[in-house]
Amino acid sequence: MSETALPAQANPTLEAEITAALGARSIVLVGMMGAGKSTIGRRLAARLHLPFSDADTEIEAAASMSIPDIFETHGEAYFRNGEARVIARLLDNGPAVIATGGGAFMREETRDRIREKAISIWLRADAEIIMRRVRRRADRPLLQTENPEATVSRLLEQREPVYQNADLTIASRDVPHDRIVDECLAALGVRLCGTRVAIQETIDQTTDGFSATP
Ligand code: S3P
């Protein structure tokens, strides 16, 4: 299915109300590696007819280097500074849906900017799901350790209390992507448009997507 096609659950009213309420603000996805920020972000952007940006891809383009090469050549501190600059630039060009790298929200300055210019969603995933997903790829420098499981546990311990500061939290799990996207849209509807649209969304869902209203 093309990313711009409307899935069965699409609720144009909810989606239009969310984009109207956002104005110039963006939606920023935060959370651990493997939480699905890019996958869900891309689909969420398509549903809202907003541009999608992946901060990691933007950093690689700005540096003309892959993330593992940036870490190896310049070190993590250099990467983090570039990451903060790239996210600041993306936030200045909203509205968009922005997927951030797993460590970006740990920087206070970036959290403050996100709070000012966006609505943040924490895609919360447990250690088991993260491990299952990150094992497939070797492009995460922080996980090139003797014991990646222990590294993920330690990072979760450090990061979850900070991720909790996101405006919204959605559980990332092994269900169809569109279900997670629908949950993001419902949570955004409540947050940005109040309960009216969210209640309509519930009615639409309980009537198999056929709205009772004209
Ligand atoms: C990192 C996550 C990565 C990437 C870099 C560091 C982290 O992004 O930014 O390898 O600190 O958690 P993803 O979360 O998209 O994998």
Q: CATH topology for 3-212?
A: Rossmann fold (3.40.50)
Question: Which residues are within 8 A (CB) of 140 and not within 5 positions of it... i.e. 6 or more apart?
Answer: 33, 67, 134
| pLDDT tens by residue, 38-55 | 999 999 999 999 999 999
**Helix and strand numbers, DSSP H then E, in the chain:** 10, 5
pLDDT tens digit sequence for 101-137: 999 999 999 999 999 999 999 999 999 999 999 987 7
Determine the distance separating the centroid of ligand 1 and the alpha carbon of 103, expressed in angstroms: 6
Q: Do residues 106 and 32 lie in contact, with contact meaning Cβ atoms separated by under 8 Å?
A: no
Q: Is the CB of 51 under 6 A from ligand 1?
A: no
pLDDT above 70: residue 200: no
Instruction: Tell me the pTM.
Output: 0.88
Indicate whether residue 68 lines ligand 1 (CB < 6 A): no
